[in-house]
Chain A
Amino acid sequence: MRIVIIDDSGLRATVLEEGLRDAGYDDIHIVPPRGAFVARLERMAPDVVLMDLGSPSRDTLEEMLTVSRALARPIAMFVDQSDDAMIGAAIDAGVSAYVVDGLRKERVKPVLELAVRRFNAFAKMQADLDEARTALSDRKIIDRAKSILMNQRALSEQDAYALLRSAAMNQGKKIVDVAQALITASDLLGGGI
């Protein structure tokens, strides 16, 4: 079974490809949706095409599937329209799948399930990464606010943090927001460091 992954994000495609290879599929190709990708895809004569639901190039792909005379058999979306749960999971995960006509659904379903799991795993990875980045930048902001307090009010680091924390609690805000406000105020007053 020849599977083509159309994807711009190198990382997500790799994550998906790895999963498919581990599951024993070996005829896998990654095509970025740029330039003449449709002509390339036609030559490849895929059985299954997997594509990110968020890709703006889906309309281009579907047009090709509609008008192509090069494809021996028509390719249509999803495999089993009766399997609402599967389709729902795919859409939630952001996967669209086009499957060649006549391919048995038992053969396609595992591919789609795997794609859904990998897409979800990738989304979680990205969310974790974003969270880590946010945490890091939050810490930098708090550190800067602390050092402003330490310099201006001759506090120890521990006391500076305690002051920020109690101010945040009193105002019902997050520490990082109070710290940011302090930095902004300090910058405006020319006392920035």
Chain B
Amino acid sequence: MTIGLRIAFLPLTDAAVLAVAHDRGFAEAEGLSLELVRTTSWATLRDRLVYGQVQAAHMLAPLAVAVTLGLSQQPAALAAPYKLNVNGNMLVMATAFAAALAPDRISRLADPLGTAHDFAAAIGLWKRKPVIGVVHRFSSHAIMLRYWLASAGVDPDRDVVLRVLPPSLTVEAMRAGEIDGFIAGEPWGSAAVDAGLAEAVAIGERIWRRGVEKILAFRQDWLDDNPDIVDRLLRALQRSAAWCDDPANREELAQLLSGPRYVDQPIEVIERALAGRIVARLDDAPVDSPDFMLFGREATSFPWRSQALWIYSQLVRWGMVAHTADTAARAGAVFRPDVFRRALADSQVPMPGASMKLEGAVDLPLAVGSRRGELTLGPDRFFDGRIFDPERIDEFLAGFSPPR
């Protein structure tokens, strides 16, 4: 007997693990029949999950924290036992704006600190406060953009205008001059570059080497009531993620995602994001960024509690939620490493021994304690060298100036 499961997603390259679990039979092998519900806004994806139209969703990690804390319409305790990817974002700005930045695109992308300062200077030269599109207030993209801008003394709430718009409308909004740039998941940044409208200014992977991106979100009560189904799904996704990471499958994956059921964009643009070949400006040679997006390797899928807390620290930093010990505990509890461990206990997946770690402390690939097999964590540095200790959130927050 197969168990039906409805999962909402947005048409983005990082829905790959769900698409492949469905189309390549990984879910079926676990006795699951997935119905993937294509959705066009994060608000609707959230509502479908919160009000029970779907059992799970491909969600922005900060949005899951925000919904749990009651910051995004109807409050609901959400639970994320699985990360669908890390990285994959790109900030692009109008070519005229980018003219004020370092002309060498390769070094511009490689040096986010320098580029942030150039960006700060370019703001004063621009005809208005730059209007930068973000996909959602509670998106990894918006949080990373704020972090990056603030490193150069730019106040993201005062010196620029952050405008929320869906990724699928970003290119049109650039064309109409409604926004001067945007940060989004692929393939949208590349689509704006290919249209000759924009240049790549920063890539997420260079801001935080292993930036949390999309998670698989459930309602917490449903997750706790259906352990068997959840475990089956996580096992299917883990196999799917390994398949997605394998370069041998890249072409097939790009083909699958480019279809109208999923992203509905040219194969070539999607393949670039999967391969980490970033074209910074129309007709430039691609820049290699092999960690542009990760699905399963290095235990990418493991939901470190410290990562939920890092997200929380940024919400506090920007005044979106008041910091209390109880709020922090609820935010941290959104990530569920316990469920991940239970589901994949019998698999070959290397399993981290801990549930929290220092974020931003790994410089070079590092072998760490694991219950079995070799687990190597990739570098996870923040571009400004800060380290987040989840046990010392107050200290971390005090380190940002001016404190809010």
Contacts and interface: CB of A to CB of B under 8 A. Distances in A.
Nearest to B178: A35
Contacts of B44: 53-54, 58, 96
Contacts of A58: 41, 43-44
Nearest to B136: A59
B40 A60 contact: no
Contacts of B43: 58-59, 61-62, 96
Interface string B155-180: 00000000111101100000010100
A176 B178 CA distance: 48
Interface centre among B43, B74, B137 (most CB of A within 10 A): B43
B295 interface: no
Interface string B65-85: 000000011100000000000
Interface residues of B, number: 24
Interface in B168-197: 168-169, 176, 178
B317 interface: no
B165 A59 contact: yes
A32 interface: no
A55 B51 contact: no
B169 A56 contact: yes
B47 A59 contact: no
A36 to B, nearest CB: 8
B135 interface: yes
Interface centre among B44, B48, B72 (most CB of A within 10 A): B44
A161 B178 CA distance: 58
A59 B51 contact: no
Contacts, number: 60
A60 B47 contact: no
A193 to B, nearest CB: 32
Contacts of B74: 77-78, 81
Interface residues of A, number: 23
A55 B40 contact: yes
Interface string B36-68: 000011111001100111000000000000000
A60 B164 contact: yes
Nearest to B75: A81
A56 B48 CA distance: 14
A78 B73 CA distance: 9
Nearest to B43: A58
Given A76-B73, A87-B51, A63 B164 contact: yes
Contact of B137 (A57, A63, A92): A63
Interface string B11-26: 0000000000000000
B41 A55 contact: yes
A28 B21 CA distance: 46
Interface string B131-144: 00001110000000
B41 A59 contact: yes
A4 B42 CA distance: 22
Interface of A: 35-36, 53-63, 66, 76-78, 81, 87-88, 91-92, 96
22 contacts: A53-B47, A56-B169, A57-B41, A59-B164, A59-B165, A59-B166, A60-B163, A60-B165, A62-B43, A62-B73, A62-B164, A63-B136, A63-B163, A63-B164, A66-B137, A77-B47, A81-B74, A88-B51, A91-B48, A91-B51, A91-B53, A92-B53
The 10 closest A-B pairs by CB, nearest first: A63-B164, A56-B166, A58-B43, A56-B40, A58-B41, A77-B73, A59-B41, A60-B164, A56-B41, A53-B44
